[in-house]
């Protein structure tokens, strides 16, 4: 695994547990530059509004890679130890007295949002990820001083889903429909909603009109984007940095395929696309994508890339092109995409892995995710092999 910016990494060792906390097995990276290992973290007891669940699976997102390898920002570093994972799925084992949305035995999930203020206008309209007071990401974040719905030691950073149990306020729980394959549910909670949100915002979920939609980067997010956009009835053009993923992209529903580094290939789609959703995870040139947009087209940037990008403004001016960003999605929309995927049997293509393989998988994701799958950590198997 190749780490970045070791000089700005923050080290905050795990303190002794409070009386109200209990130990939980987790997998993470103890110090910037080290390999994954088993750690003991402490989770809070269940509060009035909390749901405790036993994790079965947790998807491995490229954002986990950025966070663990300290790539998220050039200004402030990740906090170590770090336990990543924001595609959590498991079964409820305990609920607080005031919990009404789920009960013991239900299958549930948690995506990228562990907390938000729940009182601002944006939270009220169900877009918690854009909370005006700042949402709390599932891991690698401090607990807020105000409007916090997270128990445990307020001084300790949040831990993600590569772990045995978690406890979350019921507002942030996603219900997994009975019958949905649990191992495939997790990636819908990040990869699925992150693709669904721009499709929804830019008019692709509620139209009779067949749009031309480009999906850039055939990895965990991109493959979900192809499946969702195709299921919504649009022409999907997969856009990749090489010709190696043609078969895989077409098998997921792409009608056409562009190699972004091949000018002739790009030219075939020049001026033809209404919307392009870009999931590329490393610095790259966006000019080829802009050239493929129609007048009034939009390029939506999703990749968590800290380095600034450059483009020629004439490319925007001459066709009234917009460049936008989009962040995951709120809790109601996450439930909506889970239910849509269940109804239409749209699932990510996954490969189950165990904790001992994490270092190798992170290297594979840094190297372009050549298998174009979502790796999913099998928590139960990992516990069996490490205990």
In angstroms, give the least distance from the CB of 245 to ligand NAP.
5
Burial class (CB in 10 A: 0-12, 13-18, 19+), 317: exposed
Give whole-number Cα distances, 298 to 71, 223, 274, in Å.
27, 20, 7
- Binding partner at 93 among ligand NAP, Zn ion, none, C-beta below 5 to 8 Å by kind: none
d(CA 207, CA 347): 22
Considering only 240, 298, 335, 382, the residue that binds ligand NAP (CB under 6 A) is 240
From the CB of 67, what's the least distance to Zn ion, in Å? Answer: 10
**Which positions ≥6 away from 360 have C-beta within 8 Å?**
none
Considering only residues 180 through 209, tell me which ones interact with ligand NAP, judged by CB under 6 A: 190, 194
Q: Mark residues 143-182: x for contact with Zn ion by CB under 5 A, - for none.
A: ----------------------------------------
Q: Which one among 41, 50, 53, 63 touches Zn ion, defined by CB under 5 A?
A: 63
Closest CA to 167 of 314, 46, 84: 46
Distance between CA atoms of residues 135 and 131, nearest Å: 5
Binding flag, residue 136, ligand NAP (CB under 6 A): no
Residue 69 or 259 having the CB closest to Zn ion: 69
Nearest to 144 by CA among 136, 288, 287, 12: 136
For Zn ion, the binding residues in 185-204 under the rule CB under 5 A are 190
Choose, by CB under 5 A, the member of 29, 51, 61, 88 that binds Zn ion.
61
User: Taking CB within 5 to 8 Å according to partner kind, which of Zn ion, ligand NAP, none is near residue 66?
Assistant: ligand NAP
Contact 298, 276 (CB under 8 A): yes
326 is a contact residue toward Zn ion (CB under 5 A) = no
Cα–Cα dist 217/278, whole Å: 7
Residue with tokens 């599932």: 138
Which span sits near Zn ion by CB under 5 A: 22-30, 183-191, 259-267, 309-317? 183-191
Q: Are strands 107-110 and 88-95 parallel, antiparallel or unpaired?
A: antiparallel
Which run of H or E residues covers position 240?
Answer: strand 235-240
Residue 304 as a binder of ligand NAP (CB under 6 A): the answer is yes
Q: Binding to ligand NAP by residue 63, rule CB under 6 A?
A: yes
Between 195 and 258, CB nearer to Zn ion: 195
Q: Which parts of 314-353 interact with ligand NAP (CB under 6 A)?
A: 326-328
In angstroms, what is the minimal distance from the CB of 248 to ligand NAP? 9
The two beta strands, 36-44 and 235-240, are unpaired
Any residues with CB less than 8 A from the CB of 155 and at least 6 apart, and which? 15, 143
- Strand pairing report for 165-169 and 50-59: antiparallel
Residue 255 CB, nearest distance to ligand NAP (Å)?
16
Which residues of this protein are in contact with ligand NAP, per CB under 6 A? Answer: 61-63, 66, 190, 194, 217-222, 240-242, 245, 279-282, 284, 302-304, 326-328, 365, 368-369
Interacting residues with Zn ion (CB under 5 A) = 61, 63, 190
């Amino acid at each position: 695994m190749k780490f970045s910016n070791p000089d700005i990494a923050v080290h905050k060792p795990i303190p002794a547990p409070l009386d109200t906390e209990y130990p939980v097995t987790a997998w993470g990276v103890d110090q910037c530059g080290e390999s994954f290992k088993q750690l003991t973290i402490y989770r809070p007891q269940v509060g009035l509004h909390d749901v405790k669940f036993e994790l079965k699976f947790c998807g491995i997102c490229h954002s986990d890679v950025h966070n663990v390898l300290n790539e998220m920002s050039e200004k402030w570093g990740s906090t170590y130890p770090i336990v990543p994972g924001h595609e959590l799925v498991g079964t409820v084992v305990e609920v607080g007295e005031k919990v009404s949305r789920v009960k013991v035995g239900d299958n549930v999930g948690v995506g990228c949002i562990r907390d938000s203020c729940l009182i601002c206008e944006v939270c009220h309209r169900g877009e918690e990820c854009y909370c005006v007071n700042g949402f709390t990401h599932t891991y690698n974040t401090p607990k807020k001083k105000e409007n916090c719905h997270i128990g445990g030691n307020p001084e300790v950073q949040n831990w993600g889903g590569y772990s045995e149990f978690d406890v979350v306020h019921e507002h942030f729980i996603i219900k997994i429909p009975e019958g949905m394959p649990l191992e495939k549910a997790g990636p819908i909670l990040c990869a699925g909603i992150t693709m669904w949100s721009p499709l929804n915002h830019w008019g692709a979920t509620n139209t009779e009109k067949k749009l031309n939609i480009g999906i850039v980067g055939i990895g965990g997010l991109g493959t979900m984007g192809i499946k969702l956009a195709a299921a919504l009835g649009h022409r999907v053009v997969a856009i990749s940095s090489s010709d190696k993923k043609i078969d895989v992209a077409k098998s997921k529903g792409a009608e056409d395929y562009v190699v972004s580094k091949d000018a002739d290939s790009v030219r075939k789609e020049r001026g033809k696309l209404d919307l392009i959703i870009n999931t590329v995870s490393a610095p790259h040139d966006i000019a080829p994508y802009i050239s493929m947009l129609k007048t009034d087209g939009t390029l939506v940037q999703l990749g968590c890339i800290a380095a600034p990008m450059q483009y020629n403004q004439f490319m925007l001016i001459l066709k009234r092109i917009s460049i936008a960003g989009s962040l995951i999605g709120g809790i109601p929309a996450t439930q909506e995409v889970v239910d849509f995927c269940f109804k239409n049997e749209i699932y990510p293509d996954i490969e189950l892995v165990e904790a001992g393989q994490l270092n190798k998988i992170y290297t594979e994701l840094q190297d372009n995710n050549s298998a174009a799958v979502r790796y999913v950590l099998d928590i139960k198997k990992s516990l069996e092999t490490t205990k």
